[in-house]
């Protein structure tokens, strides 16, 4: 799939924006704080109905405005479709081809995006939470069952943690939440396990190509229950067993909300001991693997949003990325236009963003 156009009204610093895109490469340049990432954020919003920068939709509304609209036209299987959102205050409405969607999960499986920003280059080194968020985003986008299990799990976790903060919690009530957590948690664990297994296969192959066989990447799922036959029973038992400990800590210390992805390069934990170069290459392998997995799972090419990241990669990695992704729609933001980069791309559209306005550059000298 690819985006044909985007229309914004009162979104962040765009009072109004109308843009038509190239089906392959779109380069978005502009100085700092002009609105490049805001544009990327709007495109990303189409795939999950959420931002990657904030949990609060109201932050997306332009200052001093009371609503905002985002509309995209995308092409999927040769058909044009529209997806639009209106956010006013805390309320959000989504329409697909003009028909109002009743549940947030209805908008999944329409638009697929993968974002790659300098933040993601740190995914190998960062704390486990970042890696969990990476898996969650991916699985939520591809799998509505996962999306629902995760939101129920989060609600149950909040309830259990609230109880643990009480002076004398009702243990029976905690057990009720243990059951809910075990039930939803097992669904999450099973899906994460199979996702990471496939991610491992694909990303280790890519890593092999990027490093020309010099490094071996290996991903594993680190969870308390992953290997059990009955994850639900085991997780329930762990929650019950940890009651006193959790009470002391006043929080739920075990479960999928504490999982991690183990990342090894040549048998060494790359999260701790990898060099910066190794960690960045592994991050690139992971991101490219994401696109492959979405394609395997859904038959669709995701749109890759490269926010300020291409200039962070050396020319070899840049070339690898562009070559691997020749069939994928790319949005590339950069503060500066790089002649050596443009030379590598056969066809593209070039946009300049200035203080919340977009204009296309036709005469590229
Ligand atoms: N809700 C909002 N309303 C109006 N302007 C906003 C809003 N949120 C962020 N901005 C403005 O957007 C600009 C940052 O845009 P961004 O896309 O992050 O810049 P960059 O081009 O560096 O990626 C800042 O000037 C910021 O004040
Ligand atoms: Mg930016």
CA atoms within 13 A on the CB side of 93: 10
CB-based neighbours (< 5 A) of ligand 2, an ion: 36-37
Pocket test for ligand 1, best of 35, 310, 333 (most atoms within 8 A of CB): 35
33 lines ligand 1 (CB under 6 A): yes
pLDDT at 8: 98
**Euclidean distance between the first and the last CA atom of the chain, given in angstroms as a whole number:** 31
Scored b (16 or more CB within 10 A) or e, 97-125 reads eeeebeebbebbbbbbbbbbbebbbebbb
Q: What are the domain boundaries of the chain? A: 1-112+300-365, 127-299
Structure tokens at 348: 């593209």
Ligand 1 centroid to Cα of residue 159, in Å, is 35
pLDDT tens figures, 212-249: 999 999 999 999 887 788 999 999 999 999 999 999 99
CATH number of 127-299: 1.20.1050.90
Closest CA to 2 of 331, 310, 307: 331
Q: pTM for the whole thing?
A: 0.91
Q: Which ligand is nearest to the CA of 56?
A: 1
CATH number of 1-112+300-365: 3.40.50.300
More confident residue, 258 or 106: 258
Question: Where would I find the beta strands (DSSP E) of the chain?
Answer: 2-11, 14-20, 25-29, 67-76, 79-88, 91-96, 99-100, 113-116, 217-222, 260-265, 268-269, 303-307, 330-334, 348-354, 357-361
pLDDT tens figures, 185-197: 999 999 999 999 9
DSSP type of residue 90: T
Q: Is the pLDDT of residue 365 over 60?
A: no
């Amino acid at each position: 799939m690819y985006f044909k156009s985007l229309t914004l009204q009162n979104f962040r610093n765009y009072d109004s924006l109308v843009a038509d895109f190239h089906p392959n490469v779109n380069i978005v340049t502009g100085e700092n704080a002009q609105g490049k990432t805001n544009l990327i954020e709007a495109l990303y919003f189409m795939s999950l109905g959420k931002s990657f920068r904030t949990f609060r939709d109201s932050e997306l509304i332009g200052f001093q405005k009371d609503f905002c609209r985002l509309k995209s036209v995308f092409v999927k299987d040769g058909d044009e479709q529209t997806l639009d959102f209106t956010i006013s205050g805390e309320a959000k409405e989504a329409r697909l081809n003009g028909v109002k969607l009743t549940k947030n999960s209805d908008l999944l499986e329409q638009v697929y995006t993968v974002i790659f920003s300098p933040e993601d280059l740190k995914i190998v080194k960062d704390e486990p939470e970042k890696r969990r968020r990476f898996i969650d985003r991916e699985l939520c986008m591809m799998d509505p069952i996962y999306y629902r299990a995760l939101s129920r799990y989060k609600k149950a976790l909040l309830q259990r943690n609230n109880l643990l903060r009480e002076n004398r919690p009702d243990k029976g009530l905690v057990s009720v939440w243990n059951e809910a957590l075990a039930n939803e948690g097992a669904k999450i664990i099973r899906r994460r396990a199979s996702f990471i297994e496939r991610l491992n296969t694909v990303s280790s192959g890519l890593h092999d190509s990027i490093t020309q066989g010099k490094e071996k990447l290996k991903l594993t799922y680190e969870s308390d229950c992953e290997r059990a036959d009955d994850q639900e029973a085991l997780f329930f038992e762990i929650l019950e067993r940890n009651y006193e400990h959790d009470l002391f800590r006043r929080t739920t210390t075990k479960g999928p909300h504490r999982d991690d992805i183990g990342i090894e390069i040549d048998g060494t934990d790359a999260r701790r001991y990898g060099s910066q170069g190794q960690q960045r290459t592994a991050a690139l392998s992971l991101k490219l693997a994401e696109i492959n997995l979405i394609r395997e799972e859904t038959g669709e090419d995701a749109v890759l949003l490269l926010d300020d990241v291409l200039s962070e990669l050396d020319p070899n990695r840049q070339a690898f990325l562009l070559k691997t992704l020749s069939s994928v729609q790319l949005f590339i933001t950069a503060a500066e236009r790089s002649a050596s980069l443009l030379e590598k791309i056969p066809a593209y559209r070039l946009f300049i963003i200035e203080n919340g306005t977009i204009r296309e550059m036709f005469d590229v000298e």
